[in-house]
Amino acid sequence: MDLEKSPPPASPEPPGVRASPEPYAGSRAPAPRGDPAPGGCLAVAIRIPVRIVVFVLVVPVRMAWDALVVGGRFLNDILFRPLGRAFMWVFAPVGRAAAWLLEGIATVVAWLLTGLGYGLTWLCKLVFVWPWVGLWRYVVVPVRRGLAWLGHVLLVVPARWLYAWVLTPVGHGVVWALRGLGAGCAWLWRMSVVAPTGWLYRALLAPTGRGIAWAARGLWAGVVWASSGLWAGMTWIGGGLWAGMTWLGRGLWTGVSWVGLGVWAGVSWLAMVIGTLLRWIFVVPLVALWRWVLAPVGRGVAVVAREIGEALGHAWRVAGYVSLAVGRFLGRLFRWIFVEPVRWAYRSVFTPMGHFVRDAVWRPAAEAARSVGRTTRQALASARETARQTRADIRRMLFGAPREPEPVPLAGPRAEPVPVRLVKPAGTVRPEPDRSRREPPAAGTRTLGSSTTALTKD
């Protein structure tokens, strides 16, 4: 039996791409995941037992996990969330009240501190600032202005007059005298120093300097000629010495190069021998160990680990389906045992009983309670009216009856309109106001029979 899979057919590569070299037999890459049997016979041999064992181990864990999840959701929906809402409903107003109280206290404290700051600021200004400001404004500034005016009158004005009428003319005279003295001194300097010095330079110093310069140029030419000959001799001697040294250095370099090549050849041969020995002693055994021992063992461990991981994932998914089926079965069993009987009892027993209790007990009791409430309200209203009448009688006995206003007579309905009379009839009798209605009398009220216009006056 061939324990290794045959290599997959080589896929065509685009032009210009260099094909990768063929790997050695022990390091062939694993087959892709789409292959029906990845990893060869080893994976096929360990896949089913590993999946069975892992499934048996994972199913209880998955069912326990699902049970914990369902229990947590149930507790969250039934206990924790309503309890949290109740806590929020209880403690949120307390927190808001505490925040409002703290905010009010902080506001009052801020107001107090602000008022205290204003008071301290005003006190500090009153004690420290305003006295100095008043001293500066009403004492120092006027005194300074008076002293400035006095100094201007006593010092500046006399100094200006002295400068304009005394010092300025004296200074102009001194300047004129100094200018004349300077002109005389300059003429004397030119006649006594400058003119003799110029004659001495032109007649004596210039010819003497020219002779000295001619002699110096001749001396320099001789020195240049002598140094040129000396340099030519030194150059010829240095060239001969350089040629000899060059020949000697070329011979020495040739010998040193020959010796260096021999030494390099020996060192290279020795390094090759040592490298070959090290390769056969260390590298070749390590490569063989990696190629024939570690790589196959690693591939086997990788196949086993991959199969265990895939088995865990597969077992976890299958355990989820099993747990779902078991949960549905238990839910349906719970529904058949508890929910359906309770629902039947609620629909068939408690609902008719509740309707009977509502129609036979609660509604008559509610009607009787409403009747008692109406009777109580009527009794309370009559009691309030009696108390009000009693208070009115007591007030009337103590303070007397109040003056009742005269009510305004109300005209009754008429069958047909009455024509308007322009003249106020004499002897018209005004009807007495109705005292029982407690309406104020309408004295001087305008009617159709009592007009006050200019056209209808008597």
Look at residue 49 in the predicted model and tell me its pLDDT: 78
CB atoms inside a 10 Å sphere around CB 326: 14
Judged by average pLDDT, the poorest of 46-55, 83-92, 287-296, 403-412 is 403-412
CB atoms inside a 10 Å sphere around CB 31: 17
pLDDT, tens digit (0-9, with 9 covering 90-100), for 16-47: 434 443 333 333 444 444 444 445 565 666 67
Compute, in degrees rounded to 10, the torsion defined by CA atoms 243, 248, 252, 255: 100
Mean pLDDT taken over the chain: 78
**Residue-wise DSSP of 43-66:** HHHHHHHHHHHHHHHHHHHHHHHH
Look at residue 401 in the predicted model and tell me its pLDDT: 72
Residue 26 identity (one-letter amino acid): G
- Tell the burial category of 455 from Cβ atoms under 10 Å away from its Cβ (0-12, 13-18, 19+): exposed
Q: Which residue has the higher pLDDT, 224 or 458?
A: 224
pLDDT, tens digit (0-9, with 9 covering 90-100), for 126-184: 888 888 988 898 989 999 898 999 888 888 888 888 898 888 888 888 888 888 888 88
